[in-house]
Amino acid sequence: MFYNVENLYDIKDNPKTNDDDLTPGGNLHWTSYRYWKKLNDISKVIISVGNGIAPALVGLCEVENDSVLHDLTQKANLKKEKYEYIITKSKDLRGSNVALLYQRDQIRILKKNTYTPVLDAKDRTTRDILHITGKVISGDTLDIFVCHFPSRTEGIKKTRPFRVNCAQLLKQKSDSLFRIRKKANIIIMGDFNDYPNDISMTETLRAQSIESTASSKELYNMFLHKIDDKSQGTYKYRGKWNYLDQFVVSGNLLNVDTKVRIKDRTATIYSADFLLENDVKYGNKKPFRTYVGYKYLGGTSDHLPIHMDLLINE
């Protein structure tokens, strides 16, 4: 599962980051009550995705620090799922990070790395890329990347090079895995702030459609073939659904004769009713977000989560 959890921050001011709004005295009036409500709402989402069976792996973005994940996994309603976690310590100006929750009885972590994208702009920082290598119950190795590419806030064209830079770094790391592993099992998950058919994803990362013949040395985007369906997506902007949140996988996971594979070659958007509200301006539904501007709405996130099933043969 992957989920952009829309500013999952504690209520304390970090003097080293621009998080002043997300404090009780800040513009968002981020209180202890609102914080714990959000933690329990996110817990509900994670448990609900698997129809009561929580996912073995959960990628998250827009998380502030490890204390927030401690509260989420040890004190909120998620505590019975026995998650461990790994989080980056990025130099993002807002103090935003990416993280992975995992269940130790499902995967044994062998290695963890973080990669810092170098952006061609003075003093610009972004979130690190998290890379986890683990061994699943079949004995196979799984490489997981969790990403949150730079946003489009300053304009698509102006910010596109930053996302391309991140995709270049990700491509270098995945290519190195293809070289050193006979059959690489790679899962890249994240909020890419680009669509599956944008330059960063198709030309730089070279993530193809899963409708192509799967090669074990290539990457495939689980949502590229769905982009013409405008009735769904993970994020809604001005009445239009888009796929900002995506899974990109190595071809080995799409083959039916491998020990580790994606069930039905399918990834899904989780769009339960409690994650949505009426879209009064544009019609139909939209994600029930926590804030719009400085106004508190009380929803869970402005994004919808994505998930897929891995079948593992021992």
Q: What are the helix (H) ranges across the chain?
A: 32-49, 66-70, 156-180, 199
- Whether 308 contacts 46, CB under 8 Å: no
Backbone angles phi, psi at 146, to 5 degrees: -120, 130
Q: How far apart are CA 6 and CA 289, in angstroms?
A: 8
Helix (H, G, I), strand (E, B) or coil at 215: coil
Q: What is the pTM of this model?
A: 0.97
Range of the domain at 97: 2-312
- Whether 171 contacts 165, CB under 8 Å: no
Closest residue by Cα to residue 62 from 125, 149, 140, 169: 149
Q: How far apart are CA 10 and CA 31, in angstroms?
A: 9
Residues with Cβ within 8 Å of 46's Cβ and at least 6 positions away in sequence, in order, are: 1, 3, 54, 55, 58, 78, 81, 101
Residues with Cβ within 8 Å of 286's Cβ and at least 6 positions away in sequence, in order, are: 236, 276, 277, 278, 279
Q: Find the CATH number of the domain harbouring 227.
A: 3.60.10.10
Helix (H, G, I), strand (E, B) or coil at 278: strand
Break the chain down into helix, strand, coil percent, rounded to 5. Answer: 25, 30, 45
CA geometry: angle at 56 spanning 65 and 194, to 5°?
60
Query: pLDDT per position in the chain (314 positions), as tens?
Result: 999 999 999 999 999 999 999 999 999 999 999 999 999 999 999 999 988 899 999 999 999 999 999 999 999 999 999 999 999 999 999 999 999 999 999 999 999 999 999 887 667 889 999 999 999 999 999 999 999 999 998 899 999 999 999 999 999 999 999 999 999 999 999 999 999 999 999 999 999 999 989 999 999 999 999 999 889 999 999 999 999 999 999 999 999 889 999 999 999 999 999 999 999 999 999 999 999 999 999 999 999 999 999 999 87
Number of domains in the chain: 1
